[in-house]
Structure 1
Amino acid sequence: MHNLTSQLSLAEMLNDSSIDRVMAIDLDHRIISWNRTSEKTTGILSSDVLGRKLLDAFPVLAEDKAYIGAVDAAFKRLKSFLPADRNMPHRQMSEMHFIPLIAEGDELVGVMMIAHDVSHRIKAEQQLQLLNQQLEKKYRELERASNELSTFTVITSTNIKEPMRHIYTGLEFLVKSEGRQLSDTGKASLRRMQSSLNRMNLLINDILSFSQISNPETTRVAINLKDVVQSVTEKLRNRINELNAELQTSGDWPAINGHRDQVEQLLYHLIDNAIKFQPEGNRPVVTISASNTSAKGEGLPGEYVRLSVSDNGIGFTPTDAIRIFSLFEKLHGHDYRGSGMGLAISRKIMELHDGFILTESTPGVGSVFQCYFPVND
């Protein structure tokens, strides 16, 4: 008898010490247990509910079909769980567990209901949902602004390029029709103006190209990098022949997943720079390679395809290695043609492919640009 009394006292103590609301009913659906947490949370004393039938004490439960179904299932010896439901006042912030009470001899004597407070989680979920809604709103605003900016860039560039063409054509007409009456100094001035117009046209084209680089809606496809190199080489054929440049390839040339047009644009800028930034009278030698590698040296996990373009050009200092990827950055002023946008475009393309671009260079010796494309299993 002493052991039984001790066990009952321990069970009652554990019940009252629980942070959950605990209620139990017998086979007649009369409430036989109502712990202290239930009293504190609801303000209803155990003396007010003990001995009363469940639906008499809490008639609102009759409207919760899931609750009644879970109680019935527990009387059939099945454990049940109900999540919090904002439409049910008694479990807006609580999840419910329904447990059959089995006595010695496998006798069913009642059902225990445990209400676990999840208000902190629900409030966190609500806050997260609100933040997601705000983020979605900001994203739509940003997307709209980006589209407007892209449209503005296209319209503006078109409106600027048209009068530029007229000016260039007008200058060309002056040189040819009035050439005999112009001094050599006058002709040189007109040619410089035409050269400036060409540089401005190149700059506008590169700005337009940069603004239109984005994640295409089409899925990435397998790209044969060697085919891309051949395509770019043909586009630069006249420039390569003009400078007597030598292009070499090496490596095992694994395929990458990406957007063909963007990868072609990337290689175009890198190869164009390699043959362009050369000492006067130097024959450009450009080596293009592709191979599988890791990026452990950069502290990054996973496997990559490294696409490398190296040259024997003028090079640059370590300090300039960061500057060259900025918009409109030209290390050598007007000594070399270009807008200063090529490497900024290249970096943006690599970022859109979830990769990165690194460079090493020695002034007077040459440079190497390494593009790392992640390998997706």
Structure 2
Amino acid sequence: MDEKNKVLIVDDEVSMTDLLHEILTTAGFDTEVVNDPGQAVNLLNENNYDVMLTDLRMPKINGIDLLKQALSIRPDLIAIVLTGYGSIESAVEAMKYGAVGYISKPFRPKNIINTITKELEARDIKKQNVQLKRMLTIYEFSESISSTLKFEEIAEIIENACFSLLPAQQVMVMLKKNPQDKSFNIIHSKNQQGELVTSISKEVKEFVNEFLDNIEPNKVKQLDEMTLLALSMTRKKYLAGIFVAVLFPDFQIQKEDLQTLQILANRVSISVENHWLIQSLKSSLNTIHSQQQRVLDLERQSTIGEMASTITHEISNPLGAMQMAMEYIKSLSPDQDPEQLNTALHSIDLGLQKILNIVNNLRKISRGKDPSLSFVTIEEILVNTESFMDFLLKKNKINLVKNIDPNLPYIKVDQSQLQQVFTNLILNSIDALPDGGEIEIQVHWDQDQKLMIINIKDNGVGISPDNINKIFKPFFSDKIGQKQGSGLGLSVVKKIIERHQGEIEVSSKPGKGTTFTIGIPKEPQSPN
């Protein structure tokens, strides 16, 4: 049920107040009548009226004086003047002091009702416009607050909003950069002219301290020289900040003003909390990064130690053989068979080649140059690789089978580096087939993932589960006997694939064989 509009009727003539009471009550208004202007002032202090109808000529307090007092108590009161002594002069004077209407006695009931109804409608439209303006202000400033995480900018946005909504002389914003902080990190204050204020009056300091001693959603304090307003910006259980407005002394803060500012304060507290969360996240990420770096440093030290030990071992073997060959050469007499000398020199040469191979592979891993990219088909690279490997494949009784999609797109790769990848993987498969066997190469384009998929499979001895996760580590080798290598071939393969922004995976079953799967994520393009 809609609440009735309240009308206060003030006239020293009892018959007039009775008549108006009957007319307006019948029309649906909640009316109250008084014949003493002094009593009307008391009622205005105690109750909230929408409309006041008052006579101009009354004893003790005339209509103009009552009008002044009434509007100072209730600034949004609709005041309509009634008098039997109507004149242009008295109407102008009444309007000058805030009356919205002027009705002469005698009057028609319909005119009274229409005048009041019209003014109430005008008031409601005005209130709606004010509310829309407030909401638009909140929206605009909320958008600005959402677009920044800088505390100084947030403080300035709040200040501008307060100056837009209230007749403020000065606005001060105090914010915390961290929820656990006991004091405010940001204290920003600006006056009505937009100038920064560095000094705070004694009255404002005392008011702020009173507010902080007992935090409430808002606090208003009326002084002779000013009206002070403080609002808290609280998020969950933490105080994000406060803002304080120094208002002109005659300004009456309305409930709607506080509601609007509280909405803005809540929006600011959310932005401050977002800042807190981001700062906390950054701190956590820095901690994680620091810990990861510490782990990487430890792993690097461990790897360097392991590599040094392996390199020493790998080089010591050929060096030992070379030293023995040198000793043997020294023991030969000039008239001995030259073939013996050649055998010793060949042993030294083999040792040197092995050491050079280790050094070259190490260089490839540590200094791997960026790929020199050009458009080519995988099939072209495989044909060149097969031609290069043909002798070894036949010598080891290995059949190479190729299943290549005939509609493969061109991709942009380093042809020589990719040929090295295929060569190393085929050599790895040859070593896994001591009694001969089959190597199969499958290639197709995965349109969904935009990947060139290359599988190199053999039916050799396979890799043990204990070693499957180690094979791409430098110097690791699960080969035994004469075929044991330096353990750098697969490391070089992995580095090359990664430089092409690709991935390589391995699957294997001991006694069944091994499959290396390469994925190179390049968008198919045709060469110009």
TM-score, reference length from structure 2: 0.40
Cross-structure match for 1:329 = 476
- Give yes or no for contact 1:171–1:194 (8 Å, CA) kept in 2: no
Distance in structure 2 (CA, Å) of the matches to 1:230 and 1:172 = 47
Deviation at 1:365, TM superposition (A): 3.0
Distance in structure 2 (CA, Å) of the matches to 1:32 and 1:365 = 80
- Give yes or no for contact 2:134–2:165 (8 Å, CA) kept in 1: no
Cross-structure match for 1:269 = 424
Cross-structure match for 1:258 = 413
Summarize the Cα distance change of 1:257–1:187 in structure 2 as closer, same or farther, 3 Å threshold: closer
Task: For residues 191-233 of structure 1, give each alpha carbon's deviation from its aligned partner in whole angstroms, at most 9, with x where no partner exists.
Answer: 76655444323222211222232434x4x32222222122223
Summarize the Cα distance change of 1:179–1:318 in structure 2 as closer, same or farther, 3 Å threshold: farther
Cross-structure match for 1:354 = 501
Amino acid at match of 1:225: I
Identify which of 221, 225, 234 aligns with 2:387: 234
Amino acid at match of 1:347: K
Summarize the Cα distance change of 1:177–1:234 in structure 2 as closer, same or farther, 3 Å threshold: farther
Are residues 1:306 and 2:453 paired?
yes
Task: For residues 321-375 of structure 1, give each alpha carbon's deviation from its aligned partner in whole angstroms, at most 9, with x where no partner exists.
Answer: 2111111111124431421111111111122222211222232332221111124
Cross-structure match for 1:316 = 463
Distance in structure 1 (CA, Å) of the matches to 2:334 and 2:365 = 39
Summarize the Cα distance change of 1:36–1:332 in structure 2 as closer, same or farther, 3 Å threshold: farther
Distance in structure 2 (CA, Å) of the matches to 1:7 and 1:313 = 85
Amino acid at match of 1:264: Q
Summarize the Cα distance change of 1:200–1:11 in structure 2 as closer, same or farther, 3 Å threshold: same
Identify which of 193, 207, 213 aligns with 2:368: 213
- SS of equivalent to 2:446: strand
Deviation at 1:180, TM superposition (A): 7.8
Unaligned runs of 5+ in 2: 1-118, 143-156, 174-187, 197-266, 294-314
Distance in structure 2 (CA, Å) of the matches to 1:179 and 1:323 = 51
Deviation at 1:267, TM superposition (A): 0.6
Distance in structure 2 (CA, Å) of the matches to 1:192 and 1:266 = 30
Deviation at 1:305, TM superposition (A): 1.5
Summarize the Cα distance change of 1:317–1:59 in structure 2 as closer, same or farther, 3 Å threshold: closer
Amino acid at match of 2:428: N
Summarize the Cα distance change of 1:22–1:288 in structure 2 as closer, same or farther, 3 Å threshold: same
Task: For residues 142-162 of structure 1, give each alpha carbon's deviation from its aligned partner in whole angstroms, at most 9, with x where no partner exists.
Answer: xxxxxxxxxxxxxxxxxx9xx
Are residues 1:245 and 2:394 paired?
no
Summarize the Cα distance change of 1:357–1:14 in structure 2 as closer, same or farther, 3 Å threshold: closer
Summarize the Cα distance change of 1:13–1:245 in structure 2 as closer, same or farther, 3 Å threshold: closer
Cross-structure match for 1:39 = 171
Cross-structure match for 1:10 = 131
- Give yes or no for contact 2:374–2:414 (8 Å, CA) kept in 1: yes
- SS of equivalent to 1:264: helix
Amino acid at match of 1:266: V
Query: How is 1:29-108 mapped onto 2 (pairs within 5 angstroms)?
Result: 34=166, 39-41=171-173, 43-44=189-190, 49=192, 57=193
- Give yes or no for contact 2:329–2:341 (8 Å, CA) kept in 1: no
Deviation at 1:40, TM superposition (A): 3.1
Distance in structure 1 (CA, Å) of the matches to 2:479 and 2:452 = 31
Summarize the Cα distance change of 1:269–1:10 in structure 2 as closer, same or farther, 3 Å threshold: same
Task: For residues 64-101 of structure 1, give each alpha carbon's deviation from its aligned partner in whole angstroms, at most 9, with x where no partner exists.
Answer: xxxxxxxxxxxxxxxxxxxxxxxxxxxxxxxxxxxxxx
Cross-structure match for 2:510 = 363
- SS of equivalent to 1:291: strand
Summarize the Cα distance change of 1:233–1:342 in structure 2 as closer, same or farther, 3 Å threshold: same
Summarize the Cα distance change of 1:338–1:6 in structure 2 as closer, same or farther, 3 Å threshold: same
- SS of equivalent to 1:229: helix
Aligned residues: 271
Larger RCO (CA under 8 A, 6+ residues apart)? 1
Unaligned runs of 5+ in 1: 25-30, 50-56, 61-115, 139-159, 295-300
Deviation at 1:274, TM superposition (A): 1.5
Cross-structure match for 1:78 = none
Task: For residues 289-328 of structure 1, give each alpha carbon's deviation from its aligned partner in whole angstroms, at most 9, with x where no partner exists.
Answer: 211237xxxxxx7232111212232222233221111111
Distance in structure 2 (CA, Å) of the matches to 1:224 and 1:349 = 17
Distance in structure 2 (CA, Å) of the matches to 1:16 and 1:362 = 70
* Bigger Rg, structure 1 or 2: 2
Distance in structure 2 (CA, Å) of the matches to 1:9 and 1:235 = 86
